[in-house]
Structure 1
């Protein structure tokens, strides 16, 4: 593509690089100049105009943006018509956005003229939500650059897709300790119900049991046999060790604990495991709050049928500091001992979370 000033008499067919306004005449940037435009510019004393001229093998900005967007879009993603060198991509259904960082980075390093921006990977999205945008910076790029960008987009499979929600039935076990009010459990279940709503999932089985490994194992076994897709445990006390009540109960029921702890705060004390082929989440105390926390990050991925591995969790540290709760003493700065989610710590024997 050639770019620069050109005498008006030679500008027919070129693209106006900037808007031109003179004596009531208005030509918008990006317009392909016609013979009539040239005549009007000449009549108003305009001698030169800055333009872009496509060369053989060049692809116009809109065509290039649309083509690249199509190469990026995978299942669950739709592409809209381009404008001014931009093509936007939208979620075709509710689910979790799967964005291959390596592919997006590879596209963006092909040439400075090509840019792709997406929402964060694994963000829950709803149908119609914009998930990415492709923008071609100049008025055209070479076909060779476009081809390299499209090859990078397809190298590892679809660079962008939406994993639809698949799991619909959630079973919950809440453990009890003296001092934990039933109203707290009721409120927790209400918060979880709201969390699940965008995915179309719901709580179909709910049990309450003493905070003891044996009792909890029995309820987990019952849940696993009930046909639910996902098991969630709300412990009356935060998990402090792999030998603590919740992980011990999962193993006693014949399940496995894949990982305890995550580099996301709030949410450090989350546990993830498996029982009878079904995912199990040991919810951190912050999951009782409707505010975003690490529990959300894991829950939605599992609801979409995506695997959440030990390595996946350990890779969440950058960006994992979500917020500080200003209404509490600041535990990261020292001070009074607090439970992980801002509740005052109970006696060492109980460590209850009220």
Structure 2
């Protein structure tokens, strides 16, 4: 690829001086309006536009054999980067915007993204890993920096991406999980109505179904047989109203007696630091305070998004929540909006 400065008088000369050149700047009329945009490859039919342009030197780039124009390079990189849950569009100003093919959870291989962006001229930028998005949401931008790149640069990037076990970028669809909820405290009147409305809204937003909702005093919630039965009929068991700091709390001791495997007590997140997680009969069980189902800014919402997207709620993932675990309002992008207006997202 070579760059040339075309003298102003050459604009009105033979086309051989500029034919095939790629504009490094917008070509403007004397009044300032854009006639041809940056990145446009000049063709013979553009002599009319050049005649109408303001008289000034023109910066052009000519691609060598084996070079790839920035638009085609962006298309190829976008195809190599994206998984099945991501749709690539046509280049706009030589950038391909990748969008979510469905409602789901953004998945980014951050180490691979860093390696890719370490290669010369390659530029890929994404939404944060683990962010819930609606279908059609822009999740990434893909482009190359110069107006053209050598085929070897693209080949190296494509080969590295092809060797990844999973796509660098994907949007994992939410699965239609079955959810059972056991409430270990008394809720009545408007508070109970609000609780159940929030519960249905959250489960249904993910495409799940509520297969059970039981209000049990602590002594009944301490029945291992009942908890085992609930776990066998669902994919996710929520136990609300627990006293997670009490190792003798009846729901916790009953869960362990039912054969549950403890995963973690207490999470490096606020709000939600007192939650616990266990696994019973292949079902993830989460112990939460009942207020965790009212709000949309607790760790429960992050756990729900990951579990509905097919992710494991294992010790390694839970330990990683500390970075960004102070869930202030400014971090609202971490959470599903559940179809609520901004004034309702408390």
TM-score category, normalised to shorter length: 0.7 to 0.9
| Pair 1:163–1:324, CA change in 2 (3 A) | closer
1:106–1:152 CA contact under 8 A, matched in 2: no
SS of the aligned residue for 1:315 comes to: helix
Distance 1:306 1:243 in 2: 30
Describe the superposition over 1:168-207 as per-residue Cα deviations: whole angstroms up to 9, x where unpaired.
3110000026xx6465344223212111222111212111
Q: How many residues matched?
A: 320
- The answer for the alignment partner of 2:239 in structure 1 is 233
Q: Pick from 116, 124, 140 the counterpart of residue 107 of structure 1.
A: 116
- The aligned runs of 1:300-315 (5 Å cut-off) are 300-315=305-320
1:213 is displaced (CA, Å) by 7.8
Cα shift at 1:49: 0.5
CA contact (8 A) 1:104 1:153 kept: no
Corresponding residue number in structure 2 for 1:328: none
TM-score, reference length from structure 1: 0.82
| Structure 2 CA distance for partners of 1:242 and 1:6, relative to 1, 3 Å | farther
1:252 aligns with 2:257: yes
Report the 3-state secondary structure (helix = DSSP H, G, I; strand = E; otherwise coil) of the residue aligned with 1:81: coil
Partner of 1:11: 18
- C-alpha contact 1:174 1:208 (8 A) present in aligned 2: yes
- Kept in 2, the 8 Å contact 1:210–1:216? The answer is no
Work out the CA distance in 2 between the residues paired with 1:120 and 1:44.
43
**Runs of 4+ more than 4 Å apart:** 42-45, 180-183
Contact 1:94 / 1:165 at 8 angstroms: preserved in 2? Answer: yes
- Structure 1: any 5+ residue segments left out of the alignment? 326-354
Q: Does 1:140 align with 2:148?
A: yes
1:82 to 85, 88, 91: 91
Alignment of 1:1-354 (within 5 A): 1-7=1-7, 8=10, 9=13, 10-23=17-30, 26-38=35-47, 41=50, 46=55, 48-111=57-120, 113-157=121-165, 158-176=167-185, 181=188, 183-212=190-219, 215=222, 217-225=224-232, 227-235=233-241, 237-323=242-328
Which stretch of the first structure deviates more once superposed, 113-122 or 4-13? 4-13
Give the TM-score normalised by structure 2. 0.83
Q: Where is the helix percentage greater, Structure 1 or Structure 2?
A: 2
- Of 85-94 and 22-31, more deviation after overlay is shown by 22-31
